[in-house]
Structure 1
Amino acid sequence: IYEIAAEHSNRESDLFLLDTQDLRAGTEGWLVFDVTAASNHWLVDRKYNLGLRLYVETDDGLSVDPGSAGLLGRRGPRSKQPFMVTFFRASSSPVRVTRAARAPRRRQPKKTNDLPHPNKLPGIFDDVHAADSRQVCRRHELYVSFQDLGWLDWVIAPQGYSAYYCEGECAFPLDSCMNATNHAILQSLVHLMKPEAVPKACCAPTKLSATSVLYYDSNNNVILKKHRNMVVKSCGCH
């Protein structure tokens, strides 16, 4: 996604790269791009607001129509219209507060493998993504053993199965990989403004699949039944 820096009648527009995302063909959900640089530019002077431009390209560099790639724009339903979220700090004075003079600190050389968080934004977002130990909402391994549950006296097969579970942060901004609902996006926004009144969105299963179990019923008959909603296939923020 680019900011249009300048338009020309005799050649292509000047573009400033804002953010990129690498996606698989089967990706579903919202795409979140950091356009802070453009919004800051527009706040300085409205005449710089010439809009944004989105390009979709294959790994080979071939340009693809966003609509044919599955992106919904203005022609999509109202609930899936693209939007931009901005935050402004309230200040009693436009003049920056003078800080006490300090001896200059020696700059530490930046490690080449220290990359910024992809969702790192100035201001209020610093607190949201401060803890490196946090993990975003995703699926985790969980093997359920029927022996540990004491069920092998009536369960014939299987001995157990991979059930998985969902855990992780649903911190704003909610990335497309979090499979966030519209309600979760709005709840996250309200949580930022009123954290004591509204909790964060929760990490929960979005897709579940069935598992077949062979077992004895109460009459000692052997039954093979497919039980619904036994395996977590994907997780998201709700």
Structure 2
Amino acid sequence: MQVIGSRVNQNRLLEFRVSPESGQAGQEFRVRTATLWLKADIRHRRPSQCRSTEIYVFKIISRLPDTVTISSQDFDRLASDPISLTLRESQSGWQKLDLTATVQQWLSDSPKEKLQLLVDCSCCSNWRIHLFNGEPSHRSNPNRPFLVVHTDPTTAKRVRRRALDCSEDSGNQCCKQRFYVSFKQLGWDDWVIAPQGYHANYCRGDCGLHRTPDTYVTYHTHVIEEVRKTHHLSGMQPCCAPLKFSSMSLIYYGPDMTIIKRDLPKMVVDECGCP
């Protein structure tokens, strides 16, 4: 999650935290890629004495007060070497900076702390960098900077009793089958920014004939099952179905190339069972 943070030399810091929905407690991740998206619009095309316009992103490596002015000598001690990007007039709009190494180090060294980034721009008089230096921040602002991180989980989530994952040993038992959906294969990669795909999962298998009362989700299901067995109604056989879903976040291009981040409910099957 990204928030607008403290000010250093009149520039706001970009602050990122690991949000609870990023993974289960105790789950570790291996970062594959991390990209910072910044909106930079050309305002004037007048001549400049600068040969090039550069954006620099520094990682703050020391705790700072809410508002501080630091000298160039102290700055070298408080910030890491920057990641830079050259702005070109023909590419006005969203800019992407590769922060893979920076994010990898952050999650390896201090994942519980905020990642603080200072964005500076050299010879930017002809450009507007959307960093909310002069205006209050709003999460709904489509021009706010954001960080896209692609990860691989290195430890499996803890499996609950009803969250049986399908395997070679599960046989025909009701279970959750992991299933990955690629947005590229759907032809959606021209408008979906992140993620590249996700594990939607689905339920498969049969519900056994012999069930104990504690396995029923509701009293209604228990009663219907007793009626089915008593009257031999095979058409009422319970089906293996999703019992629990979770949401997923999608970042995509909206109208007029605005960037939208939305949490979509019930996109992932987490648990399967016989309701």
Q: TM-score, normalised by structure 2?
A: 0.35
User: Higher strand fraction: Structure 1 or Structure 2?
Assistant: 2
TM, length-normalised to structure 1: 0.40
